[in-house]
A and B are shown apart, each in its own frame.
Chain A
Amino acid sequence: DIQMTQSPSSLSASVGDRVTITCRASQSISSYLNWYQQKPGKAPKLLIYAASSLQSGVPSRFSGSGSGTDFTLTISNLQPEDSATYYCQQSYSTLLTFGGGTKVEIK
């Protein structure tokens, strides 16, 4: 199995801050990396696919980068509605796996 490790597991930031979440794969996954946002009691929502492509309708303050084993999700100009848990997911292997999640709280 490809293990996906996210850091930090949680963070607290202020409105307007720039936030970076890291996801590391246990082996190279090229750019087969997706990011999801999950709010309490809701299903995950696709934010970024193929490491850096912004899903339609997602605000441009969200961006993704990386390839190989190291990836980042950046939220620039953090907004109150960005309070959520963020998950990375690899699609390199047939056995799809997710990171453990990063909970973003607004100060």
Chain B
Amino acid sequence: QVRLQESGPGLVKPSQTLSLTCTVSGASTSSGDFYWGWIRQPAGKGLEWIGRIYASGSTVYNPSLKSRITMSVDTSKNQFSLRLSSVTAADTAVYYCARSVRSCSSTTCWDKWFDPWGQGTLVTVSS
């Protein structure tokens, strides 16, 4: 059974950097069949895709957050990570990591759907 588990500080000060790690069990982050992504959800609101990373380290980020995001993958530890810089109260949310199925044509590859998801971790930005 594939499981994903987020970890990291639950409280981050404004202007600092949010750092989260997702640990994967039951599957390998080096697999060529999947992307590894981050999604967030402010309290009482909808879901926002943050971005994704592939085993090779290639990334795609949401343009709305692109200037502040860094994602990385450590296949030796079977983990991938998110860093979001210069946080404000608007970045307060539950952050989920998730696996997405990767599909490719002759010219490009894309995410298909997210399954499974981690349980989520609440990150609050406050002084």
Contact = CB atoms under 8 A, between A and B. Distances in A.
Contacts of A98: 46-49
Interface string B90-126: 0000001010000000000011111111111000000
A99 B98 CA distance: 18
A41 to B, nearest CB: 9
B117 A95 contact: no
A95 B39 CA distance: 12
Interface residues of B, number: 20
A42 B102 CA distance: 24
Interface string A12-48: 0000000000000000000010101000001111100
Interface in B20-79: 46-49, 60, 62-63
Contacts of B47: 44, 87, 89, 98, 101
B46 A49 contact: no
Nearest to B4: A43
Contacts of B116: 43, 46
A13 B88 CA distance: 39
Contacts of B114: 34, 36, 44, 46, 89
Contacts of A42: 119
Interface in A64-94: 87, 89, 91, 94
The 5 closest A-B pairs by CB, nearest first: A43-B117, A46-B115, A96-B49, A98-B47, A34-B113
Interface of B: 46-49, 60, 62-63, 96, 98, 110-120
5 contacts: A32-B112, A44-B117, A89-B113, A89-B114, A98-B47
